[in-house]
Amino acid sequence: MSMFHTVWVVCRKELKDAFRDRRALVSLVVGAVIGPLLVGFMFNRIANRQRQVEDIKLPVVGAEYAPALMEWIKQQGGIEIVDGPADPEAAVRDNKQDVVLVVPKSFAEDFSKSKPIDLQLVSDGSRQTAFPKVRRVRSLLTRYGAEIGSMRLLLRGVSPSVATAVRVEDIEVSSAQQRAAMLLSFLPLFIVLAAFTGGMQIATDSTAGERERGSLEPLLLNPAPREHIVTGKWLAAVCSSALGVASTAILCFMMLRFIPLQEFGVRFRLTPVEGIGVLLGILPMCLLATALQMYLSTFAKSFKEAQGYMGMLIMIPMLPGIISSVSPLGRQPWLFPIPIVGQHVLLGEVLGGRAPAPAMFVLSALSALAVAGILLWLTTGLFRREKIIFGR
Amino acid sequence: MIRVDALRKRFGTVQAVDGVSFEASDGRVTGLLGPNGAGKTTALRMIYGLMKPDGGSVDIDGVDGVADPLAAQARMGVMPDVSGLYPRLTPREHIQYYGELHGLTGNVIKQRTEELIESLDMKPIANRRTSGFSHGERTKVAIARALVHRPQNIILDEPTNGLDVMSTRAVREIIRRLRAEGKCVLFSSHVMQEVSALCDHIVVIAKGAVAAMGTPAELLERTGRANLEDAFVALVGLDDAEHHG
């Protein structure tokens, strides 16, 4: 009997068993869907907020005193003037308005005398959500003031540039853009997590579950070498994990296609080549993650204990991200062969628009495979132990 | 044919099996009889190759069971003391899985599966998932999957333990049929009635060692008791405790 026969028989049985397990299916689907959905939802919220800024209703008290200013504001587009509330300060304080403009009665008189006009902009400095709106209104008013001032200088035969000692060019890195970039940086993490959540159910059910049900002893009575049985179980977990990774990645990419990233000022190219690069970078992680899960689950005394270990394992793929947020990992060649770190760096490179050398892909895949091989060997050793076979 | 010689196994300070030797021949039902904790299950586990003996030998049809457990297992059909089934697979799939693990081809598996389902009277449950099966139904599935490769030697650890009357009768029927086919059947039990109803040859085990063996008639003669139960009590030493303690 060839090795491949046993491996294939065990692998097929475990997959069949797992896909009849509603709990396993739900965890696979939820694991694949939740990340992309979450990011999509967040993008949607940011986009909504962005649209709020673009389409402002500005309540004005005393609009009748400054028809010229109102006319100018209306010409700016994306802003509409509405009647202001009787008590502007109370309205802002009670969260009825984000911002209110108050025009003084003396507007026309001050204007004709070329005296500074005291406009009041009522806003709540502690309300973060109102910031973009307030900033937009203030910059409009500042621009209006500058235009009028320039015109007055011109009328007096002075070049407006004389009054402009410094010109500040605003390069906006708005918070929306930052948030969008941060959200994008979560996507690789979700894909990596899918490698762990995708194979988890099979890895635990086919080891700790098999022990707990008492089906391990009869299974090992079949004249098949332990390493073939272990390899078959592992392959089933790898298939499920790879399925999780692929579906998460595809969902992420589909979602990104629907989000107009340019609107957020985020430069992010996403071609099928990069998609394949991401998959090539992460799939070796499936080999490693499932081998680690299987080893720990076989070791566990019960299914419950195994699930506890799985929860702790989920932390592992997050570690490189946490470390790199404190001190960037960089992209030195020696990072690539380190399991999990290598995949993290590869992914960062691909998504950052740089193409890592093919040797780096091979190197990180080989190291993941090597570590997986050692873990499988250790797991096979556990499958030989009488305490593991009979001890429950 | 199963032959064991001077099997020994120690767990920590407990000598669970201490020099067990016996032979179970073809066409005969051999019963391993002993009280709970006597070392029956440990002895069987060493025979079916999942536990390594500290000393002694296991011979299955001329194959060294200690040196080459896989070859020995290919000649055995075993139902361990727990009939662990996969709750999401059907009996048919259980039999098929074990057939594949024994390296049988698809057609042979299909044919044997039908035979086993027919002969073990499992038609109504053959395509149902095993979760929620009764103890008797579970035992039948465990026996069926152990027989798919038509082993010459059949080992059953406490096969009728906890079964109702109908299921017990069914299991006994299976064992008799296997004997009629010329198989070597070795089973363990702590229940006197089971052993006396089925066995051609009885090996009485107490405190990890063979206390006596022979046909039921021989055991009665040796102990001078009128029935097997009294003979059993005398052989495993419970009698002494009653008289002197």
Which domains are present in chain B? 2-75+153-244 (3.40.50.300), 84-150 (no CATH)
Q: Look at residue A254 and tell me whether its pLDDT is greater than 60.
A: yes
Instruction: Give me the residues paired with residue A122 across strands.
Output: A100
- Answer whether A222 sits within 8 Å of B101, measured CB to CB: yes
Residues A54 and A61: their CA atoms lie apart, in Å, by 21
CATH architecture entry for A55-163? 3-Layer(aba) Sandwich (3.40)
Helices (H) and strands (E) counted in chain B, each on its own, are: 10, 10
Q: What is the pLDDT of residues A19-63, one digit of tens each?
A: 998 877 887 888 788 888 888 888 777 777 766 666 778 899 888
- pLDDT value of residue B222: 85
- Answer whether B146 sits within 8 Å of A218, measured CB to CB: yes
Report residue B28: phi and psi, to 5°: -135, 150
Q: What is the pLDDT of residues A298-313, one digit of tens each?
A: 988 888 999 999 988 8
CB burial readout A210-228, b (16+ within 10 A) else e? bbbbbbbbbbbbbbbebbb
Q: Enumerate the residues of chain B whose CB falls inside 8 A of the CB of residue A5.
A: 100, 103
Instruction: Give me the residues paired with residue A253 across strands.
Output: none
Burial environment of residue A266 by CB neighbours within 10 A (0 to 12, 13 to 18, 19 or more): middle
Of residues B50, B70, B103, nearest to A217 (C-beta): B50
- Answer whether A218 sits within 8 Å of B78, measured CB to CB: yes
Burial environment of residue A357 by CB neighbours within 10 A (0 to 12, 13 to 18, 19 or more): exposed
**Chain B contact for A21, CB < 8 A?**
yes
- Answer whether A222 sits within 8 Å of B48, measured CB to CB: no
Report residue A339: phi and psi, to 5°: -55, 145
Give the model's confidence band at A324: pLDDT under 50 very low, under 70 low, under 90 confident, else very high. confident
Token output for B72:
């020995």
- pLDDT value of residue A259: 73
Nearest to A61 by CA among A53, A69, A49, A72: A69
Q: Enumerate the residues of chain A whose CB falls inside 8 A of the CB of residue B87.
A: 213
Q: Look at residue A172 and tell me whether its pLDDT is greater than 60.
A: no
Q: Enumerate the residues of chain B whose CB falls inside 8 A of the CB of residue A215.
A: 84-86
What is the least distance, in Å, from the CA of A225 to any CA of chain B? 7
Question: What are the respective helix, strand and coil percentages of chain B, to the nearest 5?
Answer: 40, 25, 35
Q: Enumerate the residues of chain B whose CB falls inside 8 A of the CB of residue A214.
A: 80, 82-84
Q: Enumerate the residues of chain B whose CB falls inside 8 A of the CB of residue A389.
A: 50
- pLDDT value of residue B78: 95
Instruction: Give me the residues paired with residue A121 across strands.
Output: A101
Of residues A5, A17, A220, nearest to B88 (C-beta): A17
Nearest to A103 by CA among A68, A139, A60, A58: A60
Token output for A137:
């209104």
Per-residue pLDDT averaged across B194-219, rounded? 89
Residues A46 and A157: their CA atoms lie apart, in Å, by 47
- Answer whether A215 sits within 8 Å of B48, measured CB to CB: no
Q: Enumerate the residues of chain A whose CB falls inside 8 A of the CB of residue B50.
A: 217, 220-221, 386, 389-390
Q: Which chain A residue has its CA at the smallest distance from B47's CA?
A: A221
The helix (H) or strand (E) run that includes residue B203 is strand B201-206
Q: Enumerate the residues of chain A whose CB falls inside 8 A of the CB of residue B84.
A: 210, 213-218
Token output for A37:
């959905």
- pLDDT value of residue B241: 45
Cβ atoms A61, A97 nearer than 8 A: no
Domain borders along chain A are 3-46+175-390, 55-163
Q: What angle do CA A339, A340, A346 make, to 5 degrees?
A: 100
Residues B61 and B72: their CA atoms lie apart, in Å, by 8
Token output for A175:
């918070």
How many C-beta atoms lie closer than 10 Å to residue B103's C-beta? 16
Q: Enumerate the residues of chain B whose CB falls inside 8 A of the CB of residue A218.
A: 78-80, 83-84, 142, 145-146
- Answer whether B100 sits within 8 Å of A218, measured CB to CB: no
Least confident among A81-90, A139-148, A252-261, B7-16: A252-261
- pLDDT value of residue B244: 40
Of all residues in chain B, what percent carry a pLDDT higher than 90? Answer: 69
Cβ atoms A160, A153 nearer than 8 A: yes
Question: Crossing angle of helices A358-384/A272-299, nearest 10°?
Answer: 20
Helical H segments across chain A, by residue range: 3-19, 22-54, 67-75, 88-93, 107-112, 131-155, 175-204, 210-213, 216-220, 226-258, 272-299, 303-313, 315-326, 341-351, 358-384, 386-390
ipTM: 0.91
Give the model's confidence band at B245: pLDDT under 50 very low, under 70 low, under 90 confident, else very high. very low
Q: Look at residue A5 and tell me whether its pLDDT is greater than 70.
A: yes
Cβ atoms A351, A276 nearer than 8 A: no
Kindly list the residues of chain B whose beta carbon comes within 8 Å of any beta carbon in chain A. 45, 48-52, 70-71, 73-74, 76, 78-80, 82-89, 93, 97-98, 100-103, 129, 142, 145-146
In eight-state DSSP terms, residue B82 is: S
Nearest to A243 by CA among A84, A25, A43: A25
